[in-house]
Each structure stands twice: as C-alpha cells, then as structure tokens.
Amino acid sequence: MNRAVFSVAIGGVVGALIRWGVFETLGEPTPALLIVNTVGSALLALVVARWPRADHPQRLGLGVGFCGGLTTFSGFAIDIAVRLEESEPLSAVTTTVVSLALAVAAYVLVRRFALRGGLIP
C-alpha cells in the first residue's frame, strides 16, 4: 500500500507540474485545457490498455497520479463558468463539446491503436 501511495503522489506532482508549465507557456486557459486534457486522456488510454487491473501499481502511479495531475476537470469547469458569467453561452457550449469530444476521441482512438497496433505487450 505505501508503494502505491508514493507512486500516485510522485506521478501527481510530475503531472501537475507539466500542466502548470503548459498553462504558463501558453498563457491562455482554454488552449491549455484542451491540450492537457486531450493528451492526458490519450496517455491514460495507453496506461489502461497496458495495465487493465485498476489496482496495478503502475496504473495507479501513471493513471491516477500522472494523468490525474496532468488533466484538470476543475480548470475546465472554471473556464466554462467564466464564459457563462460573461454571457457567452454559445462559447461555453462550444468549448464544452470540443473539450469532451477531443478527450473521449483521444482515449478511444489511442486505446484501440495500442491494443491492435501491438504497442502493448
């Protein structure tokens, strides 16, 4: 159990630092959110394909920790809420749909490719 906690913690720190770096580099929240959430979903697809058991130590460290730290639902929620507060409902809906579509498509396509393409031993 301690090893799993350590793996999740280290993975979370590294993922969060990378997310922060992307936000700092881009300076705009919406593109940064789209990038980290899409990339995180794609990486999670590889992790889940490689280690299907939810309690596997590598899946915990990379999936829960790293991908969890890299992606952000709260940042996404804030971005949408700000658009709604600024009376931009079309922008809020568009951003929501695009963000969810990219994340889900990235997960599905990468997982399918990983399992069929021989990336996963």
Q: How many residues does the chain have?
A: 121
pLDDT digits (tens, 9 = 90+) for 4-14: 899 999 999 99
- CA-based end-to-end distance of the chain: 26
pLDDT digits (tens, 9 = 90+) for 21-79: 999 999 999 999 999 999 999 999 999 999 999 999 999 999 999 999 999 999 999 99
What is this structure's pTM?
A: 0.92
